[in-house]
A = this chain, B = another copy of it.
């Protein structure tokens, strides 16, 4: 086995073993951990040749583990738990979305909703569950009703590891848990609040040897780096001017930034900037960024101005997060990339989803927040005309149909009779 990757506290520098850690908060200062690898030394040319020699094939069925040397180099191959994640289209935006954006730009979507469980979570979960398998874990637990629990259920199922989802009784809908249940999660409801569930989960981890599937675990960040690796490879190892992504807990900002810093340190011209987009209903990172100076802020200023916010209602339900656990990582990476933040209304996010759908791609409301963020940034001249932009589409539209259900009943044309001539006239034929 190669030298094991370590966890290092981003605040005080304390290090610990990635295979031993369970709580994923520094015991000395409660800081967040980064994963530190022992990556072999090669030239950029060597790396490009290595990864280009691994197209999608029976030998390399995953678009995440194609980049294993950058993601979790020490992990024994037999511990990899893969479902074929990272094999996703990257597509140019179409004419309707261009029209809606109103300004010229060379924008592409990376369709991470075409993952095994239809959300970007799979990019990270394949790594978390693989590390858990290497660590000999028998039970993973989480407390999400959405994409995280579905993804966790899928990967633990594949690994033969038990998975439990702990939820407050009477506060969940059947739709919220259908996917996780079918994928084999044990669902336990408690007679209490969501906070009670989180407390029980914490106790199961600290006192009973359970392993948390939540986003404090930085192994997930490592997998999400593939967004950058796949994109760079797709463009012949050229980098877009911007990555734009929706920011809830901010794991994508953290991972895109980490991947860019890694590639720069190796010698790539990885000069992409990161734009984080939040919903106006849950905007702690945008608000503090703006108050602290906007595009001219510094890491220190932004951290000083940061405060959790109350969250309101939004169609981007997966982003209703008033205090992102990894906000310090988001701030670090956006500043390091010379990037920025924006925020959008539900109306803008909805318009973006509908324009994108007219071009053939039905994406989730969170992807709509990212696309609408691109429009704002073009209007605010943060993103310049004709720059190349890659927008992260985090989940498939079919996972989040509720905000668009009215579409199926509006504007249906009820013909008065069955004469072909009538229909031809309706269609202007």
For residue A87, which residues in chain B have a CB less than 8 angstroms away from its CB? 87-89, 114
- Cross-interface CB contact of A189 among B84, B95, B191, B412, cutoff 8 Å: B412
A263 interfacial by beta-carbon distance below 8 Å: no
A360 touches B83 (CB 8 A): yes
User: Shortest CB–CB separation between residue A140 and chain B, in angstroms?
Assistant: 10
Q: Is the interface of A mostly helix, strand, loop or mixed?
A: mixed
With A57-B236, A191-B417 in contact, is A427–B210 under 8 Å at CB? Answer: yes
Chain A interface, number of residues (Cβ within 8 angstroms): 99
For residue A169, which residues in chain B have a CB less than 8 angstroms away from its CB? 414
B204 touches A424 (CB 8 A): yes
A100 interfacial by beta-carbon distance below 8 Å: no
Per-position binary interface string of chain A over residues 163-195, scored 1 when its CB falls under 8 Å from any chain B CB and 0 otherwise: 010100100001101110111101111111000
A116 interfacial by beta-carbon distance below 8 Å: yes
For residue A158, which residues in chain B have a CB less than 8 angstroms away from its CB? 94, 359-360
A413 touches B361 (CB 8 A): no
A116 touches B89 (CB 8 A): yes
A182 touches B404 (CB 8 A): yes
B424 touches A182 (CB 8 A): no
Residue of B nearest to A92 (CB): B61
B397 touches A398 (CB 8 A): no
Which of A58, A61, A157, A412 has the most CB atoms of chain B within a 10 A radius of its CB?
A412
A45 interfacial by beta-carbon distance below 8 Å: no
Per-position binary interface string of chain A over residues 403-429, scored 1 when its CB falls under 8 Å from any chain B CB and 0 otherwise: 011011111111111111001101101
For residue A55, which residues in chain B have a CB less than 8 angstroms away from its CB? 52, 55-56
A57-B235, A175-B408, A208-B427 given; name 19 further pairs at CB < 8 Å. Answer: A56-B90, A58-B90, A85-B89, A87-B88, A94-B158, A117-B362, A141-B427, A154-B360, A155-B360, A183-B358, A188-B412, A188-B423, A191-B416, A191-B417, A200-B419, A200-B420, A204-B427, A207-B424, A210-B427
User: What are 10 A-B contacts defined by CB distance under 8 Å?
Assistant: A58-B90, A83-B360, A154-B361, A174-B408, A177-B412, A189-B413, A189-B415, A190-B418, A204-B424, A204-B429
A residues touching B (Cβ–Cβ < 8 Å)? 52, 55-58, 61, 82-85, 87-92, 94-96, 111, 114-118, 139, 141, 153-155, 157-158, 160, 162, 164, 166, 169, 174-175, 177-179, 181-184, 186-192, 196, 199-200, 203-204, 207-210, 233-236, 354, 357-362, 396-399, 401, 404-405, 407-420, 423-424, 426-427, 429
